[in-house]
């Protein structure tokens, strides 16, 4: 009887280890592309923050002149978002950790980036983040 319990424990353990190893078998991502993804995520969160700030300021009903400049800034954020280039080979999380926002960017841009080196992709993401940082700085 003890032998059967022992055998059951061994079989269950082997099954669990086998299942665990299958879920961990995911393709390795180039560390530079991982950095590019981190830069992209930071930029996306800045864009989300700017959307909130601009929406709140527009809702305050500022002067008409101020509303026009807020609309221009909102348009600049939308243009920036549209110019997003996805990182080839890495699934893009559209949910962004529970943030619900419009994601109207060109997914075809990732096809154009397929020929770029990981360093070039990181540079593209760095420049894209710099663009949203520039918009953020103009708001302050």
Tell me if 75 sits within 8 A of 50, measured CB to CB.
no
Token pair of 43 as six digits? 């930029």
For 119, which DSSP code? Answer: H
Per-residue pLDDT at 135: 94
Is 92 inside any structural domain?
no
pTM of the shown model: 0.67
- Cα torsion 78, 80, 85, 86: sign: negative
Highest mean pLDDT among 7-16, 33-42, 100-109: 33-42
For residue 77, name the pLDDT band (cuts at 50, 70, 90). Answer: very high
- The angle formed by the CA atoms of residues 109, 111 and 115, to the nearest 5 degrees, is 115
Given a cut of 80, whether residue 63 has pLDDT beyond it is: no
Is 90 inside any structural domain?
no
Per residue in 5-29, pLDDT (tens digit) is 554 555 565 666 665 544 455 567 7
Given a cut of 90, whether residue 61 has pLDDT beyond it is: no
- Residues 73-81 have a mean pLDDT of 95
User: Residue 76's domain spans which residues?
Assistant: 37-82+106-140
Per-residue pLDDT at 88: 86
Is 100 inside any structural domain?
no
Is 136 inside any structural domain?
yes
**Domains of the chain: total:** 1
Distance of CA 134 to the CA centre of its chain: 19
State the Cα–Cα distance between residues 17 and 53, nearest whole angstrom: 48
Per-residue pLDDT at 66: 80
Closest among 77, 85, 79, 136 to 109, alpha carbons compared: 85
State the Cα–Cα distance between residues 106 and 83, nearest whole angstrom: 7
């Amino acid at each position: 009887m003890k032998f059967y319990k022992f055998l059951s424990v061994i079989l269950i353990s082997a099954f669990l280890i086998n299942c665990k190893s299958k879920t961990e078998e995911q393709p390795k991502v180039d560390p530079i592309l991982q950095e590019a993804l981190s830069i992209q995520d930071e930029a996306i969160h800045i864009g989300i923050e700017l959307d909130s700030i601009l929406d709140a300021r527009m809702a305050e009903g500022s002067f008409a002149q101020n509303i026009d400049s807020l609309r221009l800034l909102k348009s600049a954020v939308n243009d920036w978002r549209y110019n997003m280039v996805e990182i080839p080979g890495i699934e893009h999380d559209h949910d962004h950790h529970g943030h619900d926002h419009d994601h109207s960017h060109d997914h075809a841009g990732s096809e154009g980036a397929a020929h770029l080196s990981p360093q070039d992709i990181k540079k593209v993401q760095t420049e894209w983040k710099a663009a949203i940082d520039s918009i953020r700085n103009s708001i302050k």
